[in-house]
Chains A and B, each alone.
Chain A
Amino acid sequence: MGTGKDMAFLGYVCGVLTLLGLAVGGLLALVGGALAVTLRDPIYALLGLIQAMIGLAAVYFTLGAEYIGAVQIIVYAGAILVTFLFVVMLINLTAAEVSPLPRGLPLLGALLLSGGWMLTLSLLLQSILDLPSSHQVVEPEAGEVPYLYGTLPPVGKALFTAYAFPFELLSVTLLVGLVGAALLAKKPSSYGA
């Protein structure tokens, strides 16, 4: 084990790495999001959104939520957005068919509305700025390895004990989505009436 000085240095390095991960991931997410809402070509907009998802996954990893970060990459970037990509290619949507972003009054209104929303959020943050530091570290039992909240063991335990019923409901919801999508994607003439 290192001395106290070594541990302090290690803590400092961890802090710097955390900030760096947050900054890089956050920047990736914001730039990707901005590209996703402004680019005209749907494929490029989608790629921007995928970049945002991967940046967000970096932020999740930095926050210690390893499992959710992996799920974010596999399910969000890998499955949901690729389904979007399939649909864009299926209906052959190109930049020529997408009307450009509106200029003048609608643009001004949308900017004001989302900017006002951002301002409201930051004011809310100000009002909770004197939040007590309630960083509760659960003391591990003797001989037990302490887990961070976002690793698989605590998440799985919560998922299958306290949230077992919502979890089962979710599987029903997925089934409903599956059947609904199959029904929606059928040719209109191929079912009754």
Chain B
Amino acid sequence: MAPELLYAVLTLSGGLFSLGLLGLLLRRNLLLAFLAIELLLNAANLNFLAFSRYHNEPTGAVFVLFGICLAAVEAVIGLGLVVRVFRAEKDLGFAKLSNLRW
């Protein structure tokens, strides 16, 4: 792969990461903040694959596979927590979820 293509893909990944970061900073809702985290994970996966393609070896693809599995575990645990918090507080807004605040 030409280096120019690598830079294009890395820039795309950077854009996605920035979007995810923006969402994580701006969203005032537990569930929607989780969505932004998924975006961050995907930006990292794209980086892995870009370099995997650049060096033409499958290590990056293997790590993306691991990343997707870990994202699945993270989503399941996170969503379980979301359901529990919702049951206890009847609300997912950060303004009300201040029980753990020191």
Which residues of A are interface residues toward B (Cβ below 8 A)?
18, 22, 26, 29-30, 33-34, 36-38, 42, 45-46, 49, 52-53, 56, 59-60, 63-65, 67-68, 71-72, 75-76, 79-81, 83-84, 87-88, 90-91, 93, 97-99, 101-102, 106-107, 109-111, 113-115, 117-118, 121-122, 125, 129, 131, 133-138, 148-150, 154-155, 157-159, 162-163, 166-167, 170, 173-174, 176-178, 180-181, 184-185, 188
Contacts and interface: CB of A to CB of B under 8 A. Distances in A.
B55 to A, nearest CB: 6
Interface residues of B, number: 73
Interface of B: 1-3, 5-12, 14-23, 25-29, 31-32, 34-36, 38-39, 42, 45-46, 49-50, 52-59, 61-62, 64-66, 68-73, 75-77, 79-84, 86-88, 91-93, 95
Nearest to B25: A110
A157 B17 contact: no
B28 A136 contact: no
A166 B66 contact: yes
A174 B75 CA distance: 11
Contacts, number: 242
B52 A34 contact: no
What DSSP secondary structure best describes chain A's contact surface?
helix
A167 B45 CA distance: 17
24 contacts: A33-B20, A33-B39, A36-B19, A37-B20, A37-B22, A37-B26, A45-B35, A49-B38, A53-B42, A63-B49, A68-B61, A71-B68, A72-B68, A93-B92, A102-B26, A117-B21, A125-B14, A134-B54, A136-B56, A162-B59, A166-B66, A170-B69, A185-B83, A185-B84
What DSSP secondary structure best describes chain B's contact surface?
helix
B62 A163 contact: yes
A6 to B, nearest CB: 22
Contacts of A114: 18-19, 21-22, 25
Nearest to B54: A135
B82 A87 contact: yes
Given A122-B11, A155-B61, A46 B79 contact: no
